[in-house]
Amino acid sequence: MNSVAFIIIAILTLAAALGAATLPKLIHAALSFALTFVGVAMFYFLLGAEFVGLVQVFVYVGAVAVLIVFTILLTRRDVDKDRGFNWNGVVIALAVFGGLIFAITKTSGLTIAPPAIAPLSVRQIGQTLMTDYVWPLQCVGLLLTAALIGALVLVMEEKR
């Protein structure tokens, strides 16, 4: 695992995440959000989970980011500026970050190097999905259908 690649991806992801959390222009923040998820997908590639990285790019950068941009354009009347910034949120986020860092650095046995692995093939993922995870897979299919119908019902114009 390449440490130069790790540093570059980490800087890209965290800078984009900070932009998505704080940029005042909403459309800039949405594009920054898409960049964050490209960075997360790069982390998945770096960790050897290529299939998950590709799924991440397809789902987030391809679908969810476009959905968010569409929603911003559809609700454009008052979205040009995000008025008001709640500073309590900064305090809470910093406190949570401090707590997590404390817990991570105090835990022993985390500074290990990655073991050598055989690459995880898509065939292997598919076989696991169809054997050990077939019930979760069906439940996710049902959930996606329900979410699709629910989203349609929510945005349907009411008849008067």
Q: How far is the CB of 116 from another protein (least distance, A)?
A: 7
Structure tokens at 143: 């959930």
- Report the alpha-carbon distance of residue 13 to residue 44 in Å, rounded: 12
- Report the alpha-carbon distance of residue 95 to residue 102 in Å, rounded: 10
Which CB, 112 or 159, lies closer to another protein? 112
Which CB, 1 or 160, lies closer to another protein? 1
Angle between helices 26-46 and 65-74 (to 10 degrees): 170
Q: How far is the CB of 41 from another protein (least distance, A)?
A: 9
Structure tokens at 131: 């054997």
Chain centroid offset of residue 119 CA: 23
Which CB, 84 or 159, lies closer to another protein? 84
- Report the alpha-carbon distance of residue 52 to residue 41 in Å, rounded: 8
Q: How far is the CB of 160 from another protein (least distance, A)?
A: 13
Which CB, 3 or 160, lies closer to another protein? 3
Residue whose tokens read 């968010």: 68
Q: How far is the CB of 144 from another protein (least distance, A)?
A: 5
